[in-house]
């Protein structure tokens, strides 16, 4: 086992993508003692057992409730979604705390730039962070400007009319290496032993940003028109935020790779087929993106009662478009295509397949965005943030460059897609 781990670490080092510079945004208020604002698990709204016996090398059918009953209605899906939320928090993501009793916001604008300082917590213990906003020069629509929240810094083009918020998620929960587990503003509030992974802490921060926008009309941002994006590690995080915060109106993970819009089982399969891809066993050695508990499952991922097609499916029917780059085998390109093909069935079941886009190309550096991709991206922005309902958003494509690994979705998707009523 030890030598396998070492081998994977060496492989990871050889194939690791360049690390981005970490932006510094936000003010940090630290406090020595830890505070548990809530010890009660989030209510699932339906029966959610804590242990589900399971063993499946194919992707688990997302349309089955924990008690084995099929999901046939949108109401049953709402229950299934809450079960998936609990399962993912329990197995890999850690506990997402609810809105704390205190959320206040201070807004300061100068020209097209503004700071939104958010203070949140409970009596006796609060933390603050300050996302920045750059406003469009166009007139605001009724209800305020739409906004795209960029994790750390923006790596995609944004059309006119949309404000850009830069969110220092890496300060909310650090991602320097495993020694940064439990470090950051979130953990100053909830304690360094909180089970929440960095990605859950980031999502919690997105929720507090939307809370703040809701109580700050002077910011002139429409809290119902919030997109979230990020690339690579931050792309994984953007997808988590879209999954766990239903007020996110548009989710745009860019080159999220393993742990993002890929499935654990398919990344393992891809690795077993000879590609060197990041998989669960390696990802938990890099950064605290997942909870410490996930360490217990990474060698037995066939026992997970979900996979990331279900995580993405938590976003449905809200829109999501993810981008992938086959130039980097490490991103697990076969897994991304397979996983998003599986996730797509969830939007199909709701009758809105055009709300789920996936575009996989392979001709550019990691986290760059070639201009020919603007068409699909702007279609999603136009339709879902800029109120142009007739724009076509049916984009689901791959270049199929999976380093020679033959693959058909039917190998993994063994369910009939229901029409949810
Ligand atoms: C694709 O995201 C990560 C990847 O999971 C890591 O293995 C690698 O070290 O860094 C990538 C990244 O965030 O690049 C900026």
Given this model, what pLDDT does residue 336 score?
Answer: 96
Determine the residue of 232, 236, 255 to mutate for testing ligand 1's pocket, defined as the one with the most ligand atoms within 8 A of the Cβ atom.
Answer: 232
pTM of the predicted protein model: 0.89
pLDDT category, 415, cuts 50, 70, 90? very high
**pLDDT tens per residue across span 215-259:** 999 999 999 999 999 999 999 999 999 999 999 999 999 999 999
User: What proportion of the chain, given as a percentage, has pLDDT over 70?
Assistant: 86
Q: How many A from CA of 386 to the centre of ligand 1? A: 31
The DSSP line for 17-46 is: PPPPPPP--S-----SS---S--SPPP-SS
Token pair listed for 158: 């944004």
* CB of 176 shorter than 6 A to ligand 1: no
* CB of 257 shorter than 6 A to ligand 1: yes
pLDDT category, 403, cuts 50, 70, 90? low
* CB of 17 shorter than 6 A to ligand 1: yes
Answer whether residue 209 shows pLDDT above 80. Answer: yes
The dihedral built from the CA positions of residue 381, 384, 390 and 394, taken in this order, carries a sign that is positive
| ipTM of the complex model | 0.97
- Is cis: bond before 317, omega within 30 of 0? yes
User: Tokens 């026992």 map to which residue?
Assistant: 303
Given this model, what pLDDT does residue 48 score?
Answer: 58
Lowest mean pLDDT among 23-37, 195-209, 250-264: 23-37
Token pair listed for 174: 């650090």
Answer whether residue 18 shows pLDDT above 80. Answer: no
pLDDT category, 402, cuts 50, 70, 90? confident
Mean pLDDT computed over 84-91: 96
Q: How many A from CA of 233 to the centre of ligand 1? A: 5
**pLDDT tens per residue across span 159-184:** 999 999 999 999 999 999 999 999 99
User: What is the rounded radius of gyration, in angstroms, for the C-alpha atoms of the chain?
Assistant: 20
Q: How many A from CA of 50 to the centre of ligand 1? A: 31
């Amino acid at each position: 086992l030890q030598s396998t781990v070492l081998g994977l670490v060496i492989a990871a080092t050889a194939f690791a993508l360049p690390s981005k510079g970490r932006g510094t945004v936000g003010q940090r208020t630290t406090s020595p003692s830890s505070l548990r604002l809530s010890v009660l698990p989030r209510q699932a709204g339906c029966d959610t057992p804590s242990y589900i016996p399971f063993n499946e090398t194919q992707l688990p059918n997302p349309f089955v409730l924990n008690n084995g009953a099929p999901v046939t209605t949108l109401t049953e899906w709402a229950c299934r979604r809450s079960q998936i939320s609990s399962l993912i928090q329990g197995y890999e993501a850690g506990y997402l705390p609810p809105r704390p009793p205190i959320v206040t916001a201070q807004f300061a604008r100068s020209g097209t730039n503004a700071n939104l300082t958010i203070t949140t917590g409970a009596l006796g213990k609060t933390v603050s962070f300050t996302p920045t906003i750059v406003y469009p020069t166009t007139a605001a629509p009724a209800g305020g400007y739409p906004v795209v929240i960029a994790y750390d810094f923006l790596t995609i083009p944004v059309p006119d009319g949309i404000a850009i918020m830069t969110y220092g998620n890496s300060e909310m929960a650090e991602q320097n290496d495993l020694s940064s587990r439990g470090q950051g503003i979130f953990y100053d509030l909830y304690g360094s032993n909180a089970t929440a992974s960095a990605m859950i802490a980031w999502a919690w921060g997105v929720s507090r940003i939307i809370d703040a926008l809701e109580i700050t009309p002077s910011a002139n941002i429409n809290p119902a028109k919030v997109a979230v994006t990020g690339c690579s590690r931050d792309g994984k995080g953007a997808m988590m935020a879209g999954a766990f915060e239903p007020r996110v109106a548009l989710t745009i993970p860019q080159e999220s790779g393993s742990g993002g819009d890929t499935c654990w089982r398919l990344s393992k399969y891809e690795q077993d087929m000879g590609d060197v891809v990041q998989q669960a066993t390696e990802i938990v050695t890099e950064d605290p993106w997942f909870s410490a508990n996930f360490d217990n499952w990474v060698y037995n991922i066939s026992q997970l009662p979900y996979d990331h097609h279900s995580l993405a499916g938590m976003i449905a029917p809200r829109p999501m478009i993810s981008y992938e780059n086959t130039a980097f085998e490490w991103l697990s390109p076969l897994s991304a295509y397979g996983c998003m093909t599986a996730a797509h069935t969830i939007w199909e079941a709701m009758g809105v397949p055009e709300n789920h886009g996936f575009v996989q190309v392979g001709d550019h550096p990691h986290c760059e965005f070639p201009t020919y991709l603007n068409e699909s991206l702007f279609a999603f922005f136009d339709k879902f943030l800029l109120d142009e309902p007739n724009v076509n958003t049916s984009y689901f494509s791959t270049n199929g460059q999976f380093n020679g690994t033959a693959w058909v979705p039917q190998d993994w998707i063994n369910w009939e897609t229901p029409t949810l009523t």
